[in-house]
Structure 1
Amino acid sequence: MQFKRYSLRAASLVAALLLAAHMAWAAEPFKIRDIQVEGLQRVEPGTVFASMPLRVGDTYNDEKGTASIRALFALGLFTDVRLEINGDVLVVVVEERPSVAGVEFIGTREFDKDMLTKAMRDIGLAEGRPFDKALLDRAEQELKRQYINKSLYAAEVVSTVTPVERNRVSLAFTVIEGEPAKISEIRIVGNKAFSESTLRNLFDLDTGNWMSWYTKSDRYSRAKLNADIETMRSYYLARGYLEFRIDSTQVAIAPNKQDISITHNVTEGERFVVAGVRLAGNYLGREDEFKALVSIRPGEAYNADRVAETTKAFTDYFGRFGYAFARVQSVPEIDRSTSRVTLVLQAEPSRRAYVRRINVAGNNRTRDEVIRREFRQYESSWYDSDRIRLSRNRVDRLGYFSEVTMETTEVPGTPDQVDLTMKVVERPTGSLTLGAGFSSSEGLGLTFGISQQNAFGSGHSLGLQVNTSKINRLIVVNTTDPYFTQDGVSRTIDLYQRVSRPYYYEDSYALETVGTSLRFGIPFTERDTVYVGAGVERTTIVPGTYLPVAYQNYADQFGYASTAVPLTLGWGRDNRDSALVPTSGNLQRATAEWSTFGEVRYVRGTYNYQHFVPLTKQYTFAFNTDLALGQGIDGRPYPLFKNFYGGGLGSVRGFEAGSLGPRDSATGLTYGGPKKINFNVELQAPFPGAGNDRTLRVYTFVDAGNVYGPDDPIDAANFRVGGGVGISWISPMGPLRLAFARPIRQFEGDRIQYLQFQIGTTF
């Protein structure tokens, strides 16, 4: 049979198109009786047929042939495509791209290999995917860029493609990371008012010290450099240098790619003093109210922080009346002859707006309702900046998010409406608490606690505490529903069992307590919460050796087992700027407990006050006090098993936990008392070499306090006093505090404990 065989061949899509457009001859149009595909290995024939614009029964021409080649190349599955005509049969001959057999990373210590494998998969280089040399080159360059971001400028990345059986290739990225480039010099040129060392101390980047292995402050980072530049600019602008500018910043890398030098060229300008402040524009007829918000003081040096504070206060005050788009600008009128400046605060309230919709973004685990119930700005109501700020702060105080921001956007086509978007960044809300202490009498005592503040994204908290000490054993299970009612009343349920055995011996006496309690938290204001509750507990004095006389007398009079039904009332207010690393504000808590039912009758109360004062950006002064008092009622003595204890972390450091207070005359054992008083002061400072890093700090402290019996007067002459130094570290497992303390004032028989640490406490 006579037939003609024509071929259109292309090494690439461009070559195919050129060949089709410029070939010297063309195939005669014909009706396609059949289409055959040759060269397929892994690609399904249906993929080829579905991509081509030609079908059996169509009339073939060169234009349709070119379109078919273009469509098949666009799949990215083939390195070569050609069309052959065998009579009235169209034969599609393809050469498949090799597939990726695997991706391997060699020498990558700085990055996790699983993370790199995922990154390669995201860009298309993964096992089973078609191999693309362009993607390989892009991946190699991106990997080099990531190493540069980590100051590893000497890193070398070489990609290798190894053919394997069945038209596959194995990819390997071989990396020689080298040593990270470090900052060897930071220079500031043009400074006159402040010394170079003073300015360098403001920076997060430095030339390194003995703590650089932790802070990595000597590793160059563009983001940190920009932050340092802004810090220096703010420092000058806050001290009167209105025209200060940074002319240029040069970052130079030595030929060995190991040393980096940074040079800032600055022009300070003159120092200006504020001559006066003037209001201009539309202030809604409330000029006197706005003037009260001005924090800029004539006669003082120009301070950009005060100016920003004032303009923000003006904008927020406009927002209280619904003016979401108010613009406030500070326009300086400079008199260079006297180095004085008059600030004109120009205001334009624009138009009043109300909130159409409030969106929530970033909460992948936390339910929307958990966030929305904290809002105080509502949809379809007037825009109120105070309520918006309060909403943001309430969500932030939940503790479920590392970052909370609120964005305002205009509604297109509706100038008097805005949409609000609250963006959150979730953080792990589970916490692990570990504690330990060692003493000659008790040995090593361990405490363990685990809690989840946002269980299953519901906002509920679940907790478990366990103490494995041979002397004091404890297990507590609790759960809190922060919105038991729609009005924000919380509910907490506790189940607990405590066993206190003062000696290791199995036949020594013990105190066993089993109980449960139910508490409700009622929010009276945005900052004040009142707690009410009730509980039932059963306490048993287990007879044994070394039973104190006081306990024996109590058991003889009221029995070895007794039941109490305590009613509780509490109040709390938290004004701290951070619950994790507070630097300002205060925390107050007060509780009262009253048992009028059962065999045990008593009343007792506690009060805790913490206050934080920022001395500078790096130093914080902290003060803490704990007061407690108990009294028996209805003619019954205060129950000994409700006594307070002192000593150790959270009390008087340097003394063994629970060792302060009255002692049994026969055994010398401390059994606590109904009166307790503690005072703690701390000076918190940066860890040497850690710079401005607030996750690692040192502190020095002085503690004083004691526990007193029912008939003992509270006398400061009997205070135990301890002092020392410690380390505070926000570790991956939670806040860790390590204290080394020595008694400053001690008495005969006191049990000393020099080293104490705990994970999971903040003071």
Structure 2
Amino acid sequence: MNTNFSRFRLRSVAAVVASALAATAAWAVEPFTVRDIRVEGLQRVEPGTIFASLPLRVGDTYSDERGSAAIRALFDLGLFKDVRIDVNGNVLVVIVEERPTIADVDFVGTKEFDKAALQKALREVGLADGRPYDKALADRAEQELKRQYVSRSLYNAQVVTTVTPIERNRVNLTFTVTEGDSARIREVRVVGNKAFSESTLLSLFDQDSGGFMSWYTKSNQYSRSKLNADLETLRSYYITRGYLEFRIDSTQVAISPDRQDLSVTVNITEGEKFVVAGVKLDGNYLGRDEEFKSLVTIKPGEPYNGEQVTETTKAFTDYFGTFGYAFARVQARPEIDRVNNRVTLTLQAEPSRRVYVRRVAVGGNAKTRDEVIRREFRQFEASWYDGDKIKLSRDRVDRLGFFTEVNVETQEIPGSPDQVDLVINVAEKPTGSLQLGAGYSSAEKVALTFGISQENVFGSGNFLGVQVNTSKYNRTLSLTTTDPYFTKDGISRTISVYHTTTRPYSTTLDGDYKLVNQGASIRFGVPFSEVDTVFFGVGLERYAFDPNSSTSFSGLFTPASYLNYFQCSKDATGWFVTECNQKSVWGVPLTIGWGRDNRDSALVPTTGRLQRANLELGVGGDMKYVKTNYQYQQFFPINKQYTFAINADVGYAKALGGKVYPIFKNFYAGGLGSIRGFEQNSLGPRDVPLFGQTEGAALGGTKKAIFNAELSTPFPGAGNDRTLRLYGFFDVGNVFGSRAAGLTDEQYKAQKKLRASVGLGVSWISPLGPLRLAYAIPIKSQKEVLDPNTGFVLIPKDRIQRLQFQIGTSF
């Protein structure tokens, strides 16, 4: 500390001693009646604060004891460093010296925390701008700062406080921090294990001694809260495998003398392994014993499983709640036979009293209107309490996506034992977003994006969004708005207006032809159940075709399938396009869709399934067709670390009414999201190669069949971090279509063959979004075949792209 602070501290000590002597002098005064009280030395403190705290009033009798009590009361305010009482006749003169006021709190050398976080931590111990300076408080602040650094494993952090007096009895506080290096976990041990190996148990922990990815996961940085979570995971591991009497005896954390390394030792007692002998029901089950028995997941003859016991008691409590018994109590009482290592569980139930909900209140919604939350509630006022409906209501409010927290509290009503109030408390989050940026993918190259959206416009629950995309192959401008409660019955309405320019995936020789699509659509979502919604929509769209007429090679490299669909004619040479009789087409597509998603996470799913089905029907204009698609995903959790997943995606389309199927509505395959290892959307039917070029344009197909399988594992060195994963995969499938004009049988058969690949990939939930990188090896692909007579390409080879990445790709 500097010399200014040293002098300041000496003055403070002297002032305290002087005040004590003054108090001693005051004790020599003979009692008298106080005629007046004056206060001297005030600068910022209001006189009223003094008079309100003094235990003396005008007219009271002054004595030594009351004078001493007055000095203590003023010191207890924490506003003064010196307090004296002088007696002038019958007048009391209170002389005070105010403590300095903190003008500013600053930090030097802090890298681990930002200034705002540290200021918040000090504010919680009472140290902040504008408050009186107290040396004891500054010492507490130092300790709080060190505690904050210890929570980040920075045990060597040093904090020095500098107090600088400034004018008007104020001080500046500066905390100079030397953070040092964080302490690392050198070793984690589990002692006392017999049934399972130490390596098996340590693999359950999120904290470890580190690996080459510890710079990212920070798994080797000690945290008490993380250790407690690991201990609970360890406890659960044993209890779910029959070790009913498992216990953690102690946890020892030892730090090295240089405070750089930590060792953690967990001492356990496994106990014996118990098998469930039987399950009995005891108590009042409302005459529905068989119904409750069907909820029991505990299996006699198998090892005791604590999770099954918890699931069963919770299921019982919830089932009581469906009949209005909000305060039912269910306990599992074990009867242990240690001779035979068997346990009999008795489920004791007491339903208590039946209640109904008097009122449902909403709290915490500063922006969102009450009706937006209430319309998701399935538990109604003046109805019997129903636990299932309350849980469903909470989940529906949470799925709105407007809140970071959603909690439902049950409040008893004094004097009304058969009534309760429900209070749903929410914590709102920002629901608007503005996106400006650029992205890069191996297929699309550089793409600029702009988007602005608001999921909860003016608190109404409606969605409004604008999207702009400038990628090489797909340029988009769209406006979308959704009213989730267009009707009181919960039917949603979505209106979209869009303008897109699409350049089919092709090589340079295939030309610069393009399609311009303009349209609008309206779609309604009808909830057929609490988990199923069916969508109905209608649109109006127009497609305009440009065969690259701006160049001297007009249409020379444009696929014949596009030229035929738009009825383009060529000049006398038969090579160049002169005009297209059908420069644009329009249509009226009707859509019907259905979706169900019960995955545990949209970004990093480990269990559950996703299903989507869609039907598009062209009923008007130049396009008459039907296009269907169905996708199925299933995730199987092998254990905490490994997840196996499958994905199937099939589609079928055909023309109706004697029309030609619009080629630009074909299915495509290849690349991330379908069959990795092949260039994006390059599989399936191709245009006839021209002039011996090695590749024809990818046209897509009217049939699609794709299957994927993935095994997701922890990234080496990243522990159990689920934001960074390694996965192995197997992909197979293709898209299929009718034979293009000019194709030989051999060429057509080659296009119909399945393609397959295997490989490894990395998935990372990056700040820019989900990023997936894959390295694939095609195991079933088409090789190039040359015409033996001309040397021209008879069957082009597949476009192989072993390394692929993209941000935002699913599966």
Q: Which residue of 2 aligns with 1:553?
A: 564
Which of 753, 759, 765 is the matching residue for 1:730? 765
Deviation at 1:470, TM superposition (A): 3.0
Correspondences of 1:233-244 after superposition (within 5 Å): 233-244=235-246
1:14-60 Cα distance to aligned partner (Å, 9 max, x none): 9579828952124865755xx876544455677767877999xx668
Q: Which amino acid aligns with 2:604?
A: V
Counterparts in 2 of 1:51 and 1:128: CA distance versus 1, 3 Å:
same
State which of 529, 533, 539 in structure 2 corresponds to 1:535.
Answer: 539
- Name the residue aligned to 2:400: 398
Partner of 1:114: 116
Paired residue for 1:691?
A: 719
Q: What is the CA-CA distance between 1:145 and the residue it aligns to?
A: 1.3
Cross-structure match for 1:654: 677
1:260 is displaced (CA, Å) by 2.1
Q: Deviations over 1:240-262 (max 9, x none)?
A: 22222222222222332222222
Match runs of 1:23-422 below 5 Å: 23-26=27-30, 29=33, 31-32=35-36, 38-42=40-44, 62=62, 73=75, 76-82=78-84, 93-121=95-123, 123-361=125-363, 363=365, 366-422=368-424
Higher alpha-carbon deviation: 232-241 or 463-472: 463-472
Larger displacement relative to structure 2 (113-122 or 145-154): 113-122
1:672 to 700, 703, 725: 700
Provide the rounded CA distance (Å) in 1 between the counterparts of 2:728 and 2:429: 31
Query: 2: distance between equivalents of 1:536 and 1:379?
Result: 44
- Structure 1 SS opposite 2:301: coil
Post-superposition Cα deviations, 1:567-587, rounded to whole Å, max 9, x if no partner, equal 211111222222232222211
Which residue pairs with 1:618 in the alignment?
641
Partners of 2:216 and 2:512 in 1: CA distance:
48
The TM-score normalised by the length of structure 2 is: 0.84
Distance 1:618 1:529 in 2: 33
1:634 is aligned, of 654, 657, 660, to 657
CA contact (8 A) 2:635 2:646 kept: yes
Output the CA distance in 2 between the equivalents of 1:400 and 1:533: 26
Change (3 A) 1:508 1:109: closer
1:19 equivalent in alignment to 2:23? yes
Cα deviation, residue 219, structure 1:
2.0
C-alpha separation in 2, matches of 1:13 and 1:397: 64
Q: Judge which range, 359-368 or 85-94, deviates more.
A: 85-94
CA distance in 2, matches of 1:685, 1:714: 38
Q: Is the 8 A contact 1:103 1:171 kept in 2?
A: yes
Structure 1's 605 and 474: CA in aligned 2 closer, same or farther, altered over 3 A?
same
Q: Residues 716 and 335 (structure 1 numbering): CA distance in 2 closer, same or farther, change over 3 Å?
A: farther
CA apart distance, 1:95 = 2.4
* CA distance in structure 1 between the aligned counterparts of 2:404 and 2:715, rounded to whole angstroms: 23
Q: Which amino acid aligns with 2:768?
A: M
- 1:758 is matched with 806
Question: Deviation of residue 513 (structure 1)?
Answer: 0.8
Q: Match for residue 739 of structure 1?
A: 774
Segment drifting more, 476-485 vs 67-76:
67-76
| Partners of 2:468 and 2:510 in 1: CA distance | 20
Q: Report the Cα offset of residue 471 of structure 1.
A: 3.6
TM-score (norm 1): 0.89
Per-residue CA distance 1:186-236 (angstroms, 9 max, x = gap): 222222111222212122222222222222222222222222222222222
The question of whether the paired residues in 2 share the 8 Å contact of 1:656 and 1:752 is answered with yes
The offset of 1:652, in angstroms, is 1.7
- Kept in 2, the 8 Å contact 1:435–1:757? The answer is no
Would you say the 8 A contact 2:521–2:539 is kept in 1? yes
Please state whether the residue corresponding to 2:228 is helix, strand or coil: helix
Q: Deviations over 1:279-336 (max 9, x none)?
A: 2222222222222222222221222222222222222222221112222222222222
What SS does the corresponding residue of 1:370 show, helix, strand or coil? helix
Task: Indicate the larger mover: 175-184 or 488-497.
Answer: 175-184
Alpha carbons of structure 1 residues 29 and 281: separation in structure 2 relative to 1, 3 Å: closer
Distance 1:387 1:13 in 2: 68
| Equivalent residue letter for 2:247 | R
For 2:663 and 2:198, the matched residues in 1 are separated by: 63
Conserved 8 A contact 1:27-1:62: yes
The size of the alignment, in residue pairs, is 748
Summarize deviations over 1:586-628 as a string: whole Å, max 9, x none: 1111111222222322222222211111222221111112222
SS at match of 2:268: strand
| 1:732–1:452 distance in 2 versus 1, CA, 3 Å | farther
Quick one: structure 1 residues 384 and 471, their matched pair in 2 at CA, closer, same or farther if it must change by over 3 Å?
closer
Q: Is the 8 A contact 1:434 1:758 kept in 2?
A: no
- The aligned residue for residue 436 of structure 1 is 440
Q: Which amino acid aligns with 2:771?
A: L
Instruction: Give the alignment of 1:704-723 within 5 angstroms.
Output: 704-711=732-739, 718-723=753-758
Q: Taking structure 1 as reference, are residues 90 and 266 closer, same or farther at Cα in structure 2, changes over 3 Å only?
A: closer
Using the alignment, how far apart are the partners of 2:604 and 2:760 within structure 1?
A: 18
Instruction: Give SS of 2:133's match.
Output: coil
Deviation at 1:396, TM superposition (A): 3.3
In 2, the alpha carbon distance for the partners of 1:80 and 1:505 equals 91
**What amino acid maps onto 2:801 in structure 1?**
Q
Q: CA deviation at 1:462?
A: 3.3
Contact kept, 8 Å, 2:511 with 2:558, in 1: the verdict is no
Could you tell me how far apart the structure 2 residues matched to 1:214 and 1:427 are?
Answer: 28
Q: What is the CA–CA distance in structure 1 between the aligned matches of 2:546 and 2:497, rounded to whole Å?
A: 21
What is the identity, as a one-letter code, of the residue corresponding to 1:555?
Answer: F
Partners of 2:396 and 2:386 in 1: CA distance: 15
Aligned partners of 1:434 and 1:647: how far apart in 2? 24
Counterpart in 2 of 1:5? none
Deviation at 1:452, TM superposition (A): 4.6
SS of the residue 1:225 aligns to: helix
**Could you say if the C-alpha distance between residues 620 and 343 of structure 1 is closer, same or farther in structure 2, counting changes exceeding 3 Å?**
same
Q: What RMSD over aligned residues (CA atoms) do the two structures have, in Å?
A: 3.3
Q: 1:415 and 1:250, CA in 2 relative to 1: closer, same or farther beyond 3 A?
A: farther
Displacement of 1:550: 2.2
The answer to whether the 8 Å contact 2:23/2:68 transfers is no
Displacement, 1:510? Answer: 1.8
In the TM superposition, what whole-angstrom CA distance separates every residue of 1:384-441 from its partner, at most 9, and x where no partner exists?
12212222332333344455444434333432233334455555656769753236xx
Measured in 1, the distance between the counterparts of 2:603 and 2:297 equals 30
Q: In the alignment, is the contact (CA less than 8 A) between 2:26 and 2:67 conserved in 1?
A: no
Identity %: 63
Instruction: Give the conservation status (yes or no) of the 8 Å contact 2:450–2:469.
Output: yes
Residue identity matched to 1:675: K
* Structure 1 residue 530 displacement after superposition: 0.7
User: Which residue identity lines up with residue 687 of structure 1 in the other structure?
Assistant: F
Query: Shift of residue 171 of structure 1?
Result: 0.9
Q: 1:740 to 1:366 in 2, by over 3 A?
A: farther
Equivalent pair of 1:434/1:760 in contact (CA under 8 Å): no
Q: What letter is aligned with 2:559? A: P
On the 8 A contact 2:684/2:752 being kept in 1, the answer is: no
Match of 2:517 in 1: 513
Residue aligned with 2:805, SS? strand
- Cα distance change of structure 1 residues 23 and 85 upon mapping to structure 2, 3 Å threshold: closer
Counterpart in 2 of 1:6? none
